[in-house]
């Protein structure tokens, strides 16, 4: 009994100590400025610099609903434990951030603590933005302050217990928020460090491309190895053989510029938005630096030719293959070609695309259900077919494409198609 009491006493003291530590460090990350300026050299006024940096940080994608006004917030993030809505970033004095001081803004962006000490959820990527330099954050604030105020009220978050308890974010931050500013690697050149800053801080690539643990924190030991976010697969973008190690610098640069690279497929879903609103807006030099960082350390032998599918007429088998083939010929072939061996270089090319080489079919089922809107420039849009085709038909069509273009033995079911239709 005494031993049990002692153990419980130690546990209580340890818990109390951790809570005390968490409360002590809460929000203090914003006070550690590190270097005053970041590694990017952006010319112009504070507002002009802020516009460029806001694009690099992909702010508009998460804070703009087309019908509500630029940066007026209200974008829904549907998570396994509920729905969160993005904040209004316009200078409106009531609904927006017009009353925030510079220090308030810094604290929200880099520490996840909003007005009146109200904690933000990590759907806002403050764990990545913690690496941003003070001058870059304040330049973005200057740009946001120049926008027209929009009095758009944001819906309240609807989260399941215990995620609905914002106070618990104090403990979450103590466990998972590093809070350190970006520090250049002295063993690397200026371009690599610029690319690292873009990828890890401003561009926060890991927020979508890194798996999360049960507490919804990114798993640092698996950085950029791929994850599923709101129903879409963000692929492995490490420089390994399973990632993008076989890509050339030119192919990745083109992909980040126009959302497509010959033999590599086109950006779809959220990535199409990232290209349109963020990476395509970077200067050629900054985009080259980002490419150099992502492809650094690729396997010996470097880039290689992209894989091209081969005809596998018996891969899917049975009546499902016949249904899929018929649907493809009648609906898809006009844009995507009937021949899996064809590689025309157009946006609609399936040959070599990772979407058709994923045995789980995550993105192809999502595309068949929801489609993919226009991205950069005049790139084509793909319609969704969730009303035109049943779950059974979309599963059969996905199996046919994965078989013919991906050289796989797919086993997707109507239930998989249903999940993709409803997944967020």
User: Could you tell me how far CA 383 lies from the centroid of its own chain?
Assistant: 22
Q: What is the DSSP string of 152-175?
A: PPPPPPEE-TTTT-GGGHHHHHHH
Q: Residues, the chain, total?
A: 424
Q: Model confidence over 351-376: pLDDT tens digits?
A: 888 999 999 999 999 999 999 876 66
Q: Model confidence over 14-49: pLDDT tens digits?
A: 444 445 544 445 555 555 565 678 899 999 999 999
Better-scored residue on pLDDT, 300 or 355: 355
Tell me what percent of the chain is helix, strand and coil, each rounded to the nearest 5. Answer: 45, 5, 45
- Angle among Cα 378, 382, 387 to the nearest 5 degrees reads 150
Task: Assess whether pLDDT exceeds 50 at residue 11.
Answer: no
Write the CB contacts of 193 (distance below 8 Å, at least 6 apart in sequence): 39, 184, 185
d(CA 194, CA 88): 29
For residue 399, what pLDDT is reported?
Answer: 95
d(CA 285, CA 195): 10
For residue 257 the two structure tokens come to 């510029």
Backbone angles phi and psi of 46, in degrees to 5: -60, -40
Task: Assess whether pLDDT exceeds 80 at residue 52.
Answer: yes
For residue 2, what pLDDT is reported?
Answer: 56
Q: What structural domains does the chain harbor? A: 2-176 (no CATH), 190-295 (1.10.760), 318-422 (1.10.760.10)
d(CA 310, CA 317): 16
Q: How many CB atoms lie within 10 A of CB 21?
A: 12
Better-scored residue on pLDDT, 402 or 38: 402
Asked which of 207-211, 228-232, 299-303 is least confident by mean pLDDT, the reply is 299-303
For residue 328, the 8-state DSSP code is: I
Asked which of 5-9, 67-71, 313-317, 418-422 is least confident by mean pLDDT, the reply is 313-317
- Helix (H) / strand (E) element for 270: namely helix 269-277
**For the chain, what is the mean pLDDT?**
85
């Amino acid at each position: 009994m005494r031993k049990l009491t002692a153990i419980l006493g130690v546990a209580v003291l340890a818990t109390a100590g951790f809570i005390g530590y968490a409360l002590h460090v809460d929000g203090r990350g914003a006070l550690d400025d590190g270097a005053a300026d970041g590694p990017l050299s952006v010319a112009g006024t504070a507002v002009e610099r802020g516009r460029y940096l806001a694009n690099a940080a992909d702010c508009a994608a998460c804070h703009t609903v087309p019908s509500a006004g630029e940066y007026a917030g209200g974008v829904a993030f549907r998570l396994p434990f509920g729905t969160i809505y993005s904040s209004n970033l316009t200078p409106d004095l009531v609904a927006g951030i017009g009353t925030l001081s510079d220090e308030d803004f810094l604290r929200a962006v880099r520490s996840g603590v909003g007005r009146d000490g109200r904690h933000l959820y990590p759907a806002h990527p403050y764990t990545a933005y913690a690496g941003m330099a003070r001058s870059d954050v304040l330049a973005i604030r200057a740009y946001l302050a120049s926008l027209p105020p929009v009095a758009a009220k944001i819906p309240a978050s609807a989260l399941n217990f215990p995620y609905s308890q914002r106070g618990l974010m104090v403990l979450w931050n103590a466990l998972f928020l590093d809070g350190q500013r970006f520090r250049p690697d002295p063993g690397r050149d200026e371009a690599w460090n610029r690319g690292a800053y873009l990828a890890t801080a401003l561009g926060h690539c890991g927020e979508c491309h890194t798996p999360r643990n049960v507490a919804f924190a990114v798993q640092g030991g698996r950085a950029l190895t791929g994850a599923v976010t709101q129903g879409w697969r963000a692929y492995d973008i490490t420089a390994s053989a399973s990632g993008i190690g076989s890509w050339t610098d030119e192919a990745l640069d083109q992909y980040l510029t126009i959302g497509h690279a010959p033999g590599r497929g086109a950006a779809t879903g959220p990535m199409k938005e990232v290209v349109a609103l963020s990476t395509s807006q970077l200067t050629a030099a900054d985009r080259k630096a980002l490419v150099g960082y992502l492809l650094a350390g690729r396997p010996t032998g470097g880039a290689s030719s992209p894989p091209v599918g081969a005809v596998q007429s018996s891969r899917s088998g049975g009546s499902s293959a016949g249904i899929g083939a018929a649907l493809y010929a009648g609906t898809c072939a006009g844009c995507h070609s009937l021949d899996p061996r064809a590689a025309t270089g157009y946006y609609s090319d399936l040959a070599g695309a990772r979407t058709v080489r994923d045995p789980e079919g995550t993105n192809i089922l999502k595309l068949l259900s929801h489609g993919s809107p226009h991205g950069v420039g005049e790139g084509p849009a793909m319609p969704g077919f969730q009303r035109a085709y049943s779950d059974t038909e979309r599963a059969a069509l996905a199996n046919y494409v994965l078989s013919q273009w991906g050289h796989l033995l797919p086993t997707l079911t109507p239930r998989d198609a249903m999940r993709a239709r409803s997944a967020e």
